[in-house]
A and B are shown apart, each in its own frame.
Chain A
Amino acid sequence: MRKLLKTHESYIAVILIVFSLIVGIINPKFFSIGNLFGLLKSTVVTGIFALGVLLVLISGEIDISFPAIGVVSMYITGTVFEAIDFSGPTILAFLFSGGIGVLLGLINAAVISTFRLPTLIVSLGTLSAYSGFVLTFIDTRIINRLSEPVVVYSKLAFFRRTMESGQIAELHFSFFVYLALAALTALILRYTIIGRGVYALGGDRQATKRAGFSIKKIEYFIYCYVGLLAGLAGIIHSAHVRNANPFDLVGGELNVIAATVLGGAIIGGGRGTVHGTLLGVMLITVINNSLILMGIPSYWQRFTTGFVLLIAVAIPQIGSVKSIRTPRRVRS
């Protein structure tokens, strides 16, 4: 039990609860069912992106191209489905967008693996290449008329109820998609050989090779999976905002990486958990949304977000630095 309390995840959970309580005391609307459902829906897109970022961070790399993959997949899907006036099952739109994501992830993987380049550098390039591709070769207008199945999806919600104020509170279906993807990611990381390979790669690259893993296979897996998640996040985002905007998403990558790091993934690699990431995403979302509820001016919001983030990641560090600095009694 004591060990459980000492983990980074439980520490973030405590911060999340304390922060929520403070916000709730200042503005009781925070705990209204409508706001909570809204919060859960807001975690979805950041969260799905963050699951991909988690894998990359565990493997010891940093990828920033995922919002571009998301926007490209979403926009191409929007354009194509608008052009053919698609009216088939929703799942096809998801598969199409996810499929484009996998393809773009494959390009990332090929460059990273073939030329043995750091992911950060490669994804810096592909980030602008992908979003530039869309703007140059596809279009720059915002698509407001989404295809029928996506519109149907955008209205898919549960626990619908009318509040006293007359507002409608509902929990969007996307949240369950997010949970399912999180569960899938957790299972892959824990129970598949390739998932353990991702951890191994982040722990020691040389040892991974010596142990008989195929580093190439692990890298292709990571970046294709990131692509898939980004493609899905893209189409879900599009459904949430009911348009497909080619200028969207890109620029939000640091927020996602911050959420993942907040959730206990380490930039150096080898460590990170899905439940930590869920908590990190939740905390970032709560911070962003609740500042509005607390009546903090919007310029202050950026500042406060950054500040809370620094504190949240610094406190556990202070603990570990202290244990290094104080003279240790070595067992004799």
Chain B
Amino acid sequence: MIAPLVEVKNIHKRFSGVYALSDVSLSIAPGEIRCLAGENGCGKSSLIKTIAGVYQPDEGQIILNGQMYDNLRPIDAIHEGIQVIYQDFSLFPNLTVAENLAINSQLEQGRKLVNWADMERTAQSALAHIKVDIPLRSRVETLSVANRQLVAIARALLHNAKLVIMDEPTTALTHNEVDSLFEVISELKSEGIATLFVSHKLREVLDISEKLTILRNGRKVSEGETNEYDEASITYHMTGRHISGNQFTFDATDDEIPLLSVDKLGREGAFENVSFNLSSGEIIGITGLLGSGRTEVALTLFGIHPANSGRMLIDGREVLIDSVDAALKAGIAYVPEDRLIEGLFLERSIGDNIIVSILDRIKDRMKFIDFKKASSIIETWIDTLKIATPNSENPAQSLSGGNQQRVVLAKWLAAESRIFILNGPTVGVDVGSKLEIHTRLRELASNGAGIIIMSDDMPEVVQNCNRVFVMHKGQIIREYKDDFVEDQLISEIENLK
């Protein structure tokens, strides 16, 4: 048995009386790939911050490389080879790749002057270490998220890392990028560097990790070899519930006029000849690789980038959607990809966010906002969507990701929208909240709304849509209907790469 690299025993951590971690133990061996899974707020972040010395546990022991620490400071953790790559990467967007990589080492040497040649050498060898090639002199803000992450990893390795902790590393990555990240992790393993991978994406957890630790409500609920788990059992441990995915079905009636009819819609340089019908009560999916044009279609349907050609009909009548305003009037709602920056006013209250698009309708005779009416609408939607908040006056940013998503839905529901376009509705949402959102969408559909989901999350699309369109290079190349086979769709998408 190899001596563990990191060993934490019976850790307790309270924040103002509330347990963030209770009696958690974890042991990581050198070179091991460990996954730490759990829903948002389960204590994952608290645990990694404890290992990194950022939080001091209230009780329990931390042993790094056989050395017991009573009062672990971040600098001690770094000296013991623990490196954390936070979700924001902690990079300097305005500085070059080389400087981002090597400024630490220059600082550590206690230098007063910058040695640029030395800096570039350090940076070059750091990138070579993980076998990637990123131009040293480009500024970090010009890099893709995946490349920024690689820079962050390369930087972590410069400090003789023995354990690299990655907090939700795949959230913003595409499939290909996730694959290359996994290659880097395997590469680290071959050098004896362990990885602690924090995630709530089940497929990734199963793909990459050797051992798995699952937290729920601050407790360790399960631990073992990853190959002893499958998606269902991980979901069960994470949520404490058995979640069964059932297929969404829709019974079309033939003679009905479609709710939305898109006819040969095109926008120069983005997509062309896009046609489909959406009936009331239907959920359709549009999928494709990143850059296939699906996001552009969504933006055009919502009037942000109006179409150059083709037409749109709602209830059989032609409508001109040339602005967001026109889209709203036509009853079209858009829930953007990044709900955090596009869909919500994070600092404003939950209530304000819900009524923001219906201010016109809740005016009294004096043109002032009728607050009684407003608050009754707000309460209705908080109840209906089960938004978990003690008070609708709280800022939207006080909510968890899943609840924020619901606020966005509430906003559009309050606006009495009938056509919903959702772009990556569950990106970065944990499995429990994901199910909630899917349930809400189905409820919406059964109440007569038509829903379009733009997503590259195949299981999501397959399970929740009765028809799926595949886009590639700005065109719809195939439609999958009714009882299609998931594997067929997935392999088609894979082949497009």
Contacts and interface: CB of A to CB of B under 8 A. Distances in A.
Contacts of A203: 92-95
A211 B91 CA distance: 9
Contacts of A116: none
Nearest to B93: A203
Given A329-B269, A329-B270, A331-B291, 6 more contacts: A194-B112, A196-B114, A204-B93, A212-B108, A270-B92, A332-B473
B94 A270 contact: yes
B367 interface: no
A122 B292 CA distance: 51
Given A190-B114, A193-B112, A332 B270 contact: no
A212 B158 CA distance: 14
A208 B95 CA distance: 12
A193 B269 contact: no
Interface string B308-320: 0000000000000
Interface stretch (B98-106, B190-198, B368-376, B414-422): B98-106
Given A191-B113, A192-B113, A193-B114, A270 B93 contact: yes
Contacts of A192: 112-114
Contacts of B289: 332
B297 to A, nearest CB: 11
Bin the interface of chain A by size: 20 to 34
Interface in A201-260: 202-204, 206-208, 210-213
Given A191-B113, A191-B114, A196 B90 contact: no
B296 A196 contact: no
User: Interface of chain B, helix or strand or loop or mixed?
Assistant: loop
Contacts of B92: 199-200, 203-204, 207-208, 270
B434 interface: no
A318 interface: no
A300 B289 CA distance: 57
Interface string A2-39: 00000000000000000000000000000000000000
B99 A196 contact: yes
12 contacts: A191-B116, A193-B113, A196-B99, A200-B95, A203-B94, A204-B92, A204-B93, A206-B88, A213-B107, A327-B270, A327-B299, A332-B291
A185 B116 CA distance: 18
A172 interface: no
B482 to A, nearest CB: 29
A330 interface: yes
A332 B104 contact: no
A326 B114 CA distance: 40
A327 B296 contact: yes
B335 to A, nearest CB: 20
Closest 4 CB pairs of A and B: A270-B94, A332-B291, A203-B92, A330-B291
B73 interface: no
Contacts of A332: 289-292, 473
Interface in B67-126: 88, 90-95, 99, 103-104, 106-108, 111-114, 116
A212 B74 CA distance: 11
